[in-house]
Chains A and B, each alone.
Chain A
Amino acid sequence: MTDTPVKVIVDLSKPKGERESIIPLTDEEIAERDAQAVQAEAERVEQEAIEAQKAADAQAGRDALVTLGLTEAQINALLGA
C-alpha cells in the first residue's frame, strides 16, 4: 500500500503558525495526477526523439557538405559553429 499524496495549502488570511494544512489529494486529483504523469512521460520520450532527430539531421548535413568538398573550417564558418 502506498501513501496517499498530499498537497500543502497555505492560507495567508490566518495568523502565522496557523496557515499550513497538509491535505490528502482526492481520488479525482489523484486520477488527474496519474494522467499528467503518463502525459509527461510521453512528452519526455517525444522530446528525446526530436532531439535525436535534430542531431542526426545536423550530422547528415555536415556529411553532405564534406561530400561536396568543403573543409571542416569552411563548414564551421558557414554554420556559425
Chain B
Amino acid sequence: MAYELIETIEVGAGGAASIEFTSIPQDGVDLVCLVSGRATSSSAGGIEVRLSGDTSSNYLQRNLLGTGSGVSSTGGTDTAFQLATNPSTYTSNTFGNMSFYVCNYTSSATKSIKVDLVSENNAAAGFQRLISGHWNNTAAVTALKIFKPGDNLAQYSTASLYKIY
C-alpha cells in the first residue's frame, strides 16, 4: 500500500468559497484528502465535503465529538459530510486539520468514509471529531468539493489529494 500525491492546492489572497477536485484519476484503491483550513467568518458551522456533485441526502455519518469542555456523539443524514475547521475567532494564523478517507472510491458499491479532525486554538475551546461515514451512492468518486456554506476558506488553507494503491 502506497500513498501517491495527486495534487496540493493552497487558497490565495481573498480566500475562496470552495476547492473542488474534478476528473479524479480512477487508478487508485482508496482516496485521502488532507485539509488544513480556516474560515473567514466566526460562524460555528464547519466545512463540508461533497462527492461527485451529489446533492442528495446520501451522506450518513456518526460522530464522536470533543469540544474542550465536554464530549458527545451525534449523527444523521445530510446532503454533504458535515466536518469542521477553525472559525475566524480562533487564535490568529491557526488552522484546523482534517483527514478525509474514502475506501474503494472507484467501486460500484456504496462507499465507507473515515474522518478525523482537530481544530487548533490557544484556548479551552477546541474541537476534535472521529467520524464513521457512509456515502450511499454506487457511483465512483470522480470529484471532491470542500466548502463552508455561506463562508470562505481563508488564504493559506490547503487541500492535498492522495490516492492509495
Contact = CB atoms under 8 A, between A and B. Distances in A.
Interface of A: 3, 5-14, 16, 19-20, 22, 25, 29, 33-41, 43-44, 47
B7 A19 contact: yes
Given A16-B7, A20-B9, A44-B45, A10 B22 contact: yes
B68 interface: no
A22 B20 CA distance: 11
Interface in B1-60: 6-7, 9, 11-12, 14-25, 41, 43-45
Given A6-B14, A22-B12, A44-B44, A39 B150 contact: yes
Contact of B17 (A25, A35, A38): A25
Contacts of B7: 10, 12, 16, 19
A33 B20 contact: no
